[in-house]
Amino acid sequence: MTVWRGCDVPTDRAYDVEGDLWVQYEDDLVRLGLTDVAQTRMGRMVTIRFKQPGRKVKAGGSVATVESAKWVGPVHTPFAGEVVEANEAAFIRDILIANRDPYEAGWISLIRPDPPGEPAKKGRSKASSAKKRTGKTNG
């Protein structure tokens, strides 16, 4: 785990730095979530509205809309695909789940990329870029 400006940055996933997202590859699916940096910047989560399973999304399209103490806006996917699962139940149980655990229990959506394999190419290059930007700084 790398720490950047006091925020955790796990090294076992790829990052869309501009979108403040982490991306984790799971066979032919990709799990998306907000980074610790994003949740720290946005403050306490107030509400979230998810795109429902079965919905198609374009690259750059929204998979959810977040309202927090400091920000309201979309959570964009860095690639096209179909929403397979939304983590709605976790957020119903605990709206602050992304604040408490952004890299595990607080994930946002599970996507089936279209075309398959495309995000692996993009995401891994973005992960390299994120690693270069964050380095192994501990503060």
Domains of the chain: 2-125 (2.40.50.100)
Residue 117 phi, psi dihedral angles, 5° rounding: 85, -20
pLDDT for the residue numbered 138:
35
Judge whether residue 109 has pLDDT over 80: yes
Burial of 101 (0-12, 13-18, 19+ CB in 10 A): middle
Our measurement of the distance from residue 78's CA atom to the centroid of its chain's CA atoms, rounded to an integer in Å, reads 10
Please state, in angstroms and rounded to a whole number, the distance separating the CA atoms of residues 32 and 12. Answer: 13
What's the mean per-residue pLDDT of the chain? 83
Which of 63, 37, 29, 61 shows the shortest CA–CA distance to 48?
63
What's the predicted TM-score (pTM) here? 0.79
Beta bridge partners of 35: none
What tens digit of pLDDT does each residue of 80-106 get?
999 999 999 999 999 999 999 999 999
Task: Please name the helix (run of DSSP H) or strand (run of DSSP E) that holds residue 2, with its range, or none.
Answer: strand 2-4
Q: What mean pLDDT is predicted for residues 24-43?
A: 91
CB atoms within 10 A of CB 93: 9
